[in-house]
Amino acid sequence: MINIGIIGVGLVGSELISQLAAYASHAPKISVIALTNSSKQLLSTSAYSPLDLSTWKQALQAQGTTANLSVFIDYVSNSPVPAIIIDNTSSQEIASQYPLFLKKGLHVVTPNKKAFSGAETLYKEIVEEAKNNNKLVFNESTVGAGLPIINTLKDLIRTGDKINRIEGIFSGTLSYIFNEFSKSGDDGQKFSEIVKVAKKNGYTEPDPRDDLNGLDVARKVVILGRITGMNMCLDTLPVENIVPEPLRNLATSSEFLSSLPEFDSHFDNLKQTAKNNNQTLRYVGVIDPIGDESGVKLVSLPLSHPFAALKGSDNIIAFTTQRFPNPLIIQGAGAGAAVTAFGIFSDILKIADR
């Protein structure tokens, strides 16, 4: 038996609760005893008995008390059986408290990239506290949502393989944009039009510049780089921001989208140059433990390259190692509530199984 406290019950959190509820009907060894959003929290009122996951939304609204993270963590950490904190937020403030959660005897599972890609001091403190307190920290869904990327990398390293290179298309948004842009003909959709469609369909952040600046991909590169043992930091990682420089400081997303067509010719030229060389454009992140090529950039790849055949908004990651000189490739949906929740759920089960 293991108890769970869930921080963040929005899109991903709600989907996770749905998956846990379906699982509990035939294997009730995981109990949700507490959940919270930014304004309210709901704690089990009967000696750490499980919350009713079929009515949690109504209960949170009607019976929830004012959110207080300190009270929430103290409650979960006093669980009579092992307990996990699930952080479904993207909050730096919450991520910075992971060492405290571990000191209080809690395991941590999260899709929050901040703790693993931000300050190296925080990252090292999390690793140290997990070791000192014999607790587990799993973050599979920080890279590629539910794709088994982090687990595969750790297994390769644990079994003594040597990582020579990791490269991938880590952004579902940029995968979609460049897959669509590359397949459009000379008279097809312009880059700006594809970005607008991506935003309309919910593929981008509210401001697409938050995707196009490469920071999200950079965070994923740093996460994987640190697992390989590299001292990698966001501040020093080369990242190509493909937002045209005159548009980077515009006040609103609407202004950006209105002005982006002025730079369609720039992107058309990049596409035509690639086409002339029988290549295609892809936005790629690279982890290079044995060289000096780690970074994030827009590249032209031969049409024979595995990344060139990608479709839709899929992610694809290639591990080149001593054992796998022909890369080990993982491909699939790298974004979305269902697959992200799946990644979190699989981490929960790994801890429960132990």
- Predicted confidence at residue 27, as pLDDT, reads 67
pLDDT for the residue 335: 84
Three-class secondary structure of residue 119 per DSSP: coil
CA distances from 159 to 28, 126, 153, 311, 323 (A): 33, 23, 10, 33, 11
Does 187 have pLDDT greater than 70? no
Token pair in block for residue 315: 């992610």
Residue 226 predicted with pLDDT over 90: yes
Given 103, 220, 271, 275, the catalytic residue: 220
Sign of CA pseudo-dihedral 274, 280, 281, 283: negative
Confidence of residue 188 (pLDDT cuts 50, 70, 90): confident
> CA 66, CA 161: separation in Å to the nearest integer?
49
DSSP string, 68-85: -HHHHHHHHHT-SS-EEE
Percent of the chain with pLDDT over 70: 98
For residues 268 and 4, what is the distance between their CA atoms, to the nearest angstrom? 50
- Confidence at 183, pLDDT banded by 50, 70, 90: confident
Q: Is the pLDDT confidence value at 148 over 90?
A: yes
C-alpha to C-alpha distance for 264 and 247, rounded to whole angstroms? 13
Rounded to 5, what percent of the chain is helix, strand, coil? 45, 20, 35
E runs forming strands in 132-173? 137-138, 163-169
The beta-strand segments (E) located in 272-342 are 279-287, 295-302, 314-321, 328-333
Annotated binding-site ranges for NADPH? 89, 113
- Please state the pTM of the whole predicted model: 0.94
Across the range 266-289, mean pLDDT stands at 96
Q: Is 183 among the residues known to form the active site?
A: no
User: Does 120 have pLDDT greater than 70?
Assistant: yes
Annotated binding residues, written as ranges, equal 8-13, 89, 113, 205
Task: Tell me the pLDDT tens digit for each residue of 325-336.
Answer: 999 999 999 888
Half-sphere exposure of 171 (CA within 13 A, CB side): 31
pLDDT at 28: 65
| Mean pLDDT value across residues 236-253 | 97
How sure is the predictor about 180, in pLDDT bands with cuts at 50, 70 and 90?
A: very high
Q: What is the mean pLDDT of residues 347-351?
A: 95
Poorest-pLDDT segment among 24-33, 100-109, 249-258: 24-33
Query: What domains, with CATH codes, occur in the chain?
Result: 2-146+338-352 (3.40.50.720), 151-333 (3.30.360.10)
Q: Tell me: the pLDDT tens digits for 291-322? A: 989 999 999 999 999 999 999 899 999 999 99
pLDDT score for 47: 82
Q: Band the pLDDT of 184: cuts 50, 70, 90.
A: low
Phi, psi of 108 (to 5 degrees): -130, 130
Return the percentage of the chain with pLDDT > 90, whole number: 89
At 186 the pLDDT is 63
| Across 46-57, average pLDDT | 92
Binding residues for NADP(+): 8-13
For residue 323, the model assigns a pLDDT of 98
- Which residues are known binding-site members for L-homoserine? 205
